[in-house]
Amino acid sequence: MRLHLLGLALAMATVEAFPHDSKSSPTYFFTFGDSYTMTSFNITGEQATPADPMGNPALGTGTTGGGINWVGDLTTVDNDSLILSYNLAVGGATIDNKIINAGVEDMATQVASFVSVYGDKPGIAPWSSDDTVFGFWIGINDVGWAYSTENASILVPMLMAEYKSLAQQIYDLGGRNFLFLNVPPTSRSPYILSTGLDASRAHAAWLSVFNEHLKLMVMGFRDEHPDIQYVLYDSWKFMTGILDNPHQYGYPNNTCIDADGTTCIWWNNYHPGLRYHAYQAADMKKYLHPFGAW
């Protein structure tokens, strides 16, 4: 079975997408995380169908970017075959509130909801090991809450142990295709920059420890389960490339904010806009061929 890892040290070189046969059957796409991923999907609401692959709410609503985010783009824009999206991400989430309590539904609860509603492969989402991808983008809030008061060398291993256990729960139910995203350079967001240079540097150092341990966790999970296919997408590297070269992407600078989601990189002081999400989704597609749907 083909394995794929986008390592944290890879350069930002352009990678050409190679041709492949599109799937004739749908791919079920379950996603977990925080506000960078959320679409405000309600698991008790309308479910994904070929006519409405996001299920609920309407495409481009319920996000924190002013419109379609990376999940919507990979589901409806950058896909090569039918994707059915089930997005359990919640704004503000951390990995586990028992470790870092953000006061909202954590990823542990999101996975528990998946197990309860979709774990037995119900008629509303009859997924299987071969036709389903599980995506995780988490850590932005873990870093944001902990960097100023907690020791990363102590707390991050605890976070990764829980993260791995959540992936294991999905593996035990039959999940075999895993997409992990590391934490982007939110140290350079207008919000963190406004707290001062020392704080931004401390945030960046904590974030670096998180991302390095995430890489180790994913590699360990792969070693324990050689039958999985996986991608570790380097969102830190991709966003850094845009922040370092904003004019190349049509932005006036790397700190302006505009709620239209397209004029500036930042939709608000902590979240990128819909155009950034479109750029990232298009880049992600280059690495998702092992899953067969992109």
Are 264 and 252 within 8 A, CB to CB? yes
- What sign for the dihedral angle of Cα 75, 33, 41, 62? negative
Counting residues of the chain whose pLDDT is more than 90, the rounded percentage is 91
**Does 268 have pLDDT greater than 70?**
yes
Are 83 and 89 within 8 A, CB to CB? no
Band (pLDDT 50/70/90 cuts) for residue 15 is very low
Average pLDDT over every residue of 105-130: 98
Are 89 and 38 within 8 A, CB to CB? yes
Whole-angstrom Cα distance, residue 121 to residue 178? 17
What is 98-157 written as a DSSP string? TTS--SS--HHHHHHHHHHHHTT--TTS---SSSEEEEEE--HHHHHHHTTTS-HHHHHH
Domains of the chain: 27-291 (3.40.50.1110)
Predicted pLDDT at 23: 55
Predicted pLDDT at 87: 98
> Minimal CA–CA distance to 107: which of 73, 75, 134?
134
Average pLDDT over every residue of 176-205: 98
Note the pTM of the prediction, 2 decimals. 0.92
Whole-angstrom Cα distance, residue 36 to residue 72? 12
The residues near 256 (Cβ < 8 Å, ≥ 6 apart) are 263, 264, 265, 266
Predicted pLDDT at 164: 98
pLDDT digits (tens, 9 = 90+) for 119-153: 999 999 999 999 999 999 999 999 999 999 999 99
